[in-house]
Structure 1
């Protein structure tokens, strides 16, 4: 049978690869995977705005690559996904370095060496060149250019690898009015993503410890299971630790019950989950060779709920069972093996029952805040939860102690309680794309303080109330400064 060789046109094919769907977070994590697989003990992400020409580099002190190794690493599909990998290899398809990088930039440079004193070897994919000339060719960089680039990204190590992204056309929002602020915000979000995705490597839990930093600022690990509490703080309870079998492969599953958030400090809560949001952080945490692939949510095994928010289930699989999980190129999505789902349901039901009972045993639970306005009340007879305004709160007492219109004020409080939009709040918290919280706008806070002062609320009561509410995130001292600023402004006028 006759055959026709139809290689892809380089320019259009690369343009398609750029649209696989990597975020900056996922793309950077994919490159960090390579650094860890190369035995790095320190990885630093260099992010420089560069006067409007931003540059990002992932630098490591790993074993580095010889020229031929680097050439294969820069080849698309350089390593087959069917090749047997070492247990610590976080790679998968032989595409990650290229597709992750192309998704963010049009210039990918990789510079590496394996021995101190040896010459650096650098290759560059220039997507403008590929599009213009329609050729699959990387540029070989002169040693002098390699050294110039390494100097610009503050690479001072003897051996290792630097992956450099330039011409970052996909990382920026072209509609942003303040491009630099947008870029810096993305880097902050990147730090949060790395702190969770690689938390076991950062803390050295069951894997080799790796120091990860951004612009030389070391990232602290998130502790999603609450197993490393600060002194005198409660730790999570390990409810089960099992090895499940899927064919010839072993899957380790551990379930944890977290302490009730009312027992934790604000900082401790934030070390467990972003913004202390227990609700959206409940669910499965799935790891491949110690690296977090997917977190939060129950993969349609049960529904997320307020009563289940203390439940976490850790699932570990090795890189030799990737085919069972249908791991995608970005290593950000998996599908639970069908034979594992029923086994997981049993474990999940048990930990969620424990979480549920923790709530139902608390007839009246105080808020995390030291002087909460809202109280959560459980009606045992009707198995119903209600939210009530604390009539003993200092601000509320100030309101209802006034003689005029007392009945109307009680009626208003009752109306607010009964009309609390619980279903809307539940829907908002269930969304992965919406952040639910108070404004952190200082101008809006000043207006709130000004209104409280105008109705005669004492300064200390105002400061205590706002600073003790974790939703606002302002200290007592900060509130007092704002109060004095407002009073000074009013006096001047």
Structure 2
């Protein structure tokens, strides 16, 4: 057999690289940050400027930089063999990251770097890559365009220009651009939160600045909050690698502020952010995924499971080129399914514990009352509960009569048989309480006018009443926050 060289067409391959992976702006920036972390950078400065509709993006770090030879190697497509053994702290994978991430957003990629007091620069321009012609910046060009930091210290700056992929049609409004950059900043705060908070062993805390402001790491497990349940950690050996599994059950919304709840919920809400959070070398790869081990549900929405994997297990996790997706290895499915099933019961108890009582503690006004007499048990709605009493105190007799009739119908239609059957067979699945603080807020705001009338418009008495009546008493921190926000009381949570 004879062999002949069959090199790919430069324009075709480099243009195709724009579609490698599933990059968005934060994902593309993350690939560049990975390189800065590999270069032992302590500080990273990201600038995303609208530039009158011609966006410019730069990522500058104070890592150890590159020589010209190292720079040219880094600019080469597929510069690293994904099967080659890597340093344990290497966040790279295919050697395409710098190029594919950049070209997913722009047509011109420029890299300027400094090492040992010598600066180098190179550039790929997709409008001029025939015969693999990469631009090399001259000494004079470097003097003109290099940032001041690289003239004094080691480091690397990556520049994107001709950013035609920041919108669908190549143009972008300033408002849309600002929305994308805010989203990118928030995602970076999540992806690198362990680096930003000093949670990476043998590495000093990383600082990332976005358009001049330092990014604070966002912990999706809310580990420092007293009400977060940090469950038993498990260590699994897979081949030559170690996988660490750390489950958490997040606090019920009544234990945290609404602003904290909304940030934990994220743009898609708690329901879509439950499940596994997979970290590769402490960098978040994927979040809010069950890998078909469970269904997304209301009672499991507080479960988040941290999974730490080393880069030595990349092959069995099948990490994609953009590092935004993995596949759960078959060898782990059974054990992780066991862990998930146990956690769903823990999460469900957080909500069931918020349900109503029959005999309330500390003279708490309950909604339901239980009566046992002559061998018979009867449940009725407590007419002395402040909200019920306020409803029945309405001056209009026809309205009051209708309210009484409604309460009687609810009591007489209590589904005794169905409830008894479910309680005996599926107790873990029963929940009656609201799982969304916004829905609870709606209920509180609807109840306040009625109860306020009952206490003659006295907000201090209203607060005392609500503090001793379920479900408000069980969620008092959330109620107090609503009252204070409305300026109705100075009630302390």
Asked if these proteins are the same fold (TM beyond 0.5), I'd say yes
- Tell me if the contact between 1:239 and 1:351 (Cα under 8 Å) persists in the aligned partners: no
1:228, distance to aligned residue in structure 2 (A): 2.1
Match of 1:129 in 2: 128
From 319, 323, 335, the counterpart of 1:327: 319
Match of 1:445 in 2: none
From 310, 313, 316, the counterpart of 2:308: 316
- Tell me if the contact between 1:22 and 1:100 (Cα under 8 Å) persists in the aligned partners: yes
- For 1:129, what is the secondary structure of its paired residue? coil
- Tell me if the contact between 1:105 and 1:169 (Cα under 8 Å) persists in the aligned partners: yes
From 371, 386, 399, the counterpart of 1:406: 399
Q: Deviations over 1:430-486 (max 9, x none)?
A: xxxxxx999xxxxxxxxxxxxx9xxxxx9999xx9xxx89999x9648xxxxxxxxx
- Mapped to 2, the partners of 1:471 and 1:322 lie a distance apart of 46
- For 1:3, what is the secondary structure of its paired residue? coil
Pairwise CA RMSD? 4.2
Q: Deviations over 1:405-438 (max 9, x none)?
A: 7379969x99xxxxxxxxxxxxxxxxxxxxx999
1:202 paired with 2:200, answer no
- Mapped to 1, the partners of 2:235 and 2:356 lie a distance apart of 38
1:343, distance to aligned residue in structure 2 (A): 1.1
- For 1:51, what is the secondary structure of its paired residue? coil
- Mapped to 1, the partners of 2:41 and 2:458 lie a distance apart of 52
Q: Deviations over 1:332-385 (max 9, x none)?
A: 0000110111111111112221111222232239xxxxxxxxx999xxxxxxxx
1:405–1:347 Cα change, 3 Å: same
1:141–1:361 Cα change, 3 Å: same
- Mapped to 1, the partners of 2:128 and 2:122 lie a distance apart of 14
- Mapped to 2, the partners of 1:218 and 1:205 lie a distance apart of 17
Name the stretch that deviates more: 154-163 or 290-299. Answer: 154-163
Match of 1:279 in 2: 271
- Mapped to 2, the partners of 1:307 and 1:376 lie a distance apart of 23
1:393, distance to aligned residue in structure 2 (A): 7.0
Alignment of structure 1 residues 431-470 onto 2, 5 Å: none
1:360 paired with 2:352, answer yes
1:35, distance to aligned residue in structure 2 (A): 0.4
- Mapped to 1, the partners of 2:222 and 2:278 lie a distance apart of 16
Match of 1:12 in 2: 12
1:183–1:275 Cα change, 3 Å: closer
TM-score (norm 2): 0.73
Match of 2:298 in 1: 306
- Tell me if the contact between 1:266 and 1:470 (Cα under 8 Å) persists in the aligned partners: no
- Tell me if the contact between 2:54 and 2:162 (Cα under 8 Å) persists in the aligned partners: yes
Q: Deviations over 1:198-236 (max 9, x none)?
A: 11001111342211120121111111111123xxxx242
From 351, 369, 381, the counterpart of 2:343: 351
1:103–1:275 Cα change, 3 Å: closer
Match of 1:388 in 2: none
Task: Count matched residues.
Answer: 414
1:169 paired with 2:164, answer yes
From 172, 182, 185, the counterpart of 2:176: 182
- Mapped to 1, the partners of 2:291 and 2:480 lie a distance apart of 30
1:138–1:52 Cα change, 3 Å: same
1:50, distance to aligned residue in structure 2 (A): 1.1
Unpaired stretches in structure 2, ≥5 consecutive residues: 358-365, 369-384, 408-435, 439-448, 450-455, 464-477, 488-493
Larger Rg: 2
- Mapped to 1, the partners of 2:260 and 2:133 lie a distance apart of 51
Match of 2:453 in 1: none
- Mapped to 2, the partners of 1:393 and 1:45 lie a distance apart of 54
- Mapped to 2, the partners of 1:409 and 1:150 lie a distance apart of 79
- Tell me if the contact between 2:185 and 2:215 (Cα under 8 Å) persists in the aligned partners: yes
- Tell me if the contact between 1:222 and 1:273 (Cα under 8 Å) persists in the aligned partners: no
Match of 1:381 in 2: none
Unpaired stretches in structure 1, ≥5 consecutive residues: 366-374, 378-390, 415-435, 439-451, 453-457, 478-493
- Mapped to 1, the partners of 2:194 and 2:164 lie a distance apart of 32
TM-score (norm 1): 0.73
- Mapped to 2, the partners of 1:154 and 1:409 lie a distance apart of 76
From 224, 227, 231, the counterpart of 2:223: 227
